[in-house]
Amino acid sequence: MIARIGKKLDHYYYHQFVGAAFYGVVLGIAMNYFWQPGHIYSSGFNGLAQLIDTLTGGRFPVAWGIACANLPLLLLAWLTLSKRFAIFTAMAVVLSAIFVPLFATKTVLTSDPLMCAIFGGGLNGMAVGTALRCGLGTGGLDIIGMILKQHFRTKVGSVNLAFNALIMIGAGLTYGWQYALYSIIGVVVSAHFIDVFYTHQQQIQEMIVTNKPEMMCEHIQQKMRRGVTIIDSAHGGYTGKDKSVLLTVVTQHELGDLREAIKEVDPQAFYSESKVEHTGGRFFEPEP
């Protein structure tokens, strides 16, 4: 019995634990080795926590700000997204609040604000994108982004970018406008890395030309929960043979499984891929 429970926990929850811990560690490194030495503000609620820490003269530390600012949005995630997502997001928030002071250091790798903005933003985007890919959020704007994505198909990185104007104004008023501009560079880098690592939101249209349409359709649906449209009566211009054309849309994360399914059914099938900007109708979105 214990072995079965352990196996189930490992199967469903292990990667969420790892994602939360990875996020906390990487955020602690970015905050202490890049953002604070370079006077760079992070994006989202982490940047808000930095701003509060600065305005209170350190009396309300960044770790407390991260925990307190995220509490209302964790409740929102519990009510609107899913309880599992809210629990693991809370874990990521708590671990980040622990690791930020734990990684506090007097070692300065570089005080160049541009280098600190680029590397801090890159680390943050990698951490956030990986956490989202593992099925948990990191609090703050990520929860808002997930809600908007669920209803409006809006990319999470773009949502983060849109909500950070006030944080950048705060950075400008606190450290000077040149640091606000450097912080904006960090936010842009972070948003880009989020979209690179969080591949679940990137949609790909696949066109498959095959003479085994029914078998191909069945095999794709067995491997992933995706609909397939079959267009019959296609005609090969070179071979002169009748073919069928299959159309489906998957996420970037599912692309490897789709290619494997195609090769298993028909190694000679021709297929092409193109990025999709928007889908409507009944495109399946897994629960966060």
86 and 185 in a single domain? The answer is: yes
Cα angle 281-88-160, degrees, rounded to a multiple of 5: 60
Highest mean pLDDT among 74-88, 103-117, 184-198: 103-117
How much is the CA Rg of the chain, to the nearest whole Å? 23
Q: Could you tell me if residue 258 is inside a domain?
A: yes
Please indicate whether residue 97 or residue 226 has the higher confidence score (pLDDT): 97
Regarding whether 227 and 132 lie in a shared domain, the answer is no
Domain boundary among 166, 200, 234: 200
Q: Is residue 281 part of a domain?
A: no
* C-alpha of 7 from chain center: 26
Same domain, 112 and 190: yes
Residue type present at position 107: T
pLDDT at 33 over 50: yes
Q: Is residue 224 part of a domain?
A: yes
Residues 261 and 137 in one domain: no
Do 212 and 244 belong together in one domain? yes
Give pTM, 2 decimals: 0.70
| 47 shares its domain with 78 | yes
Q: Which of 57, 50, 69 minimizes the C-alpha distance to 180?
A: 50
Of 255, 287, 254, nearest in space to 273 by CA = 255
Do both 220 and 109 map to the same domain? no
Give dist(CA 176, CA 91) in Å, integer: 35
- Two tokens, residue 129: 């994108």
pLDDT-derived band at 34 (thresholds 50, 70, 90) equals: very high
251: β partners? 203
Are residues 167 and 245 located together in one domain of the fold?
no
Give me the pLDDT at residue 199, please: 61
Structural domain including 269 reads 202-276
Q: Provide the b/e sequence for 139-176 (b: ≥16 CB within 10 Å).
A: bbbbbbbbbbbeeebbbbbebbbebbeebbebbbeebe
pLDDT of residue 9: 46
- Whether residue 155 sits in one domain with residue 33: yes
Q: How many domains does the chain have?
A: 2
Q: Which of 200, 223, 247 is the last residue of a domain?
A: 200
Asked if 124 contacts 42 with a C-beta cutoff of 8 angstroms, the reply is yes
What are 75-105's pLDDT values in tens digits? 888 887 778 778 888 888 899 999 998 998 8
Burial-class residue 252 by CB neighbours within 10 Å (0-12, 13-18, 19+). Answer: middle
What pLDDT score does 115 carry?
Answer: 92
248 found inside a domain: yes
**Which pLDDT score is estimated for 7?**
47
Between residues 161 and 80, which one has the greater pLDDT? 80
Beta strands 229-235; 242-251: pairing state: antiparallel
- What is the C-alpha separation between 282 and 108, in angstroms, rounded? 51
Q: What is the pLDDT of residue 143?
A: 77
Same domain flag for 60 and 157: yes
- Both ends of the chain: CA-CA distance in Å? 28
Q: Give the whole-number percent of the chain exceeding pLDDT 70.
A: 84
What's the chain's average pLDDT?
A: 80
Please check whether residue 83 is in contact with residue 74, taking contact to mean a CB–CB distance below 8 angstroms.
no
- Which residue among 200, 227, 248 closes a domain? 200
Q: Does 260 fall in a domain?
A: yes
For residue 1, what pLDDT band results from cuts at 50, 70 and 90? very low
Domain membership of residue 288 (yes or no) is: no
Residues 14 and 128 placed together within one structural domain of the fold:
yes
Give domain status of residue 283, yes or no: no
Q: Which comes out higher in pLDDT, residue 216 or 3? A: 216
238 domain residue, yes or no: yes
Look up the CATH number of the domain holding residue 261: 3.30.70.120
Cα–Cα distance measured from residue 140 to residue 151, given in angstroms and rounded to the nearest whole number: 18
**Residues 6+ positions from 22 with CB-CB distance below 8 Å:** 127, 130, 131
Neighbours of 104 (CB within 10 A): 14
pLDDT of residue 4: 47
Q: Work out the average pLDDT over 230-254.
A: 80
Contact 87, 207 (CB under 8 A): no
> Does 118 share its domain with 255?
no
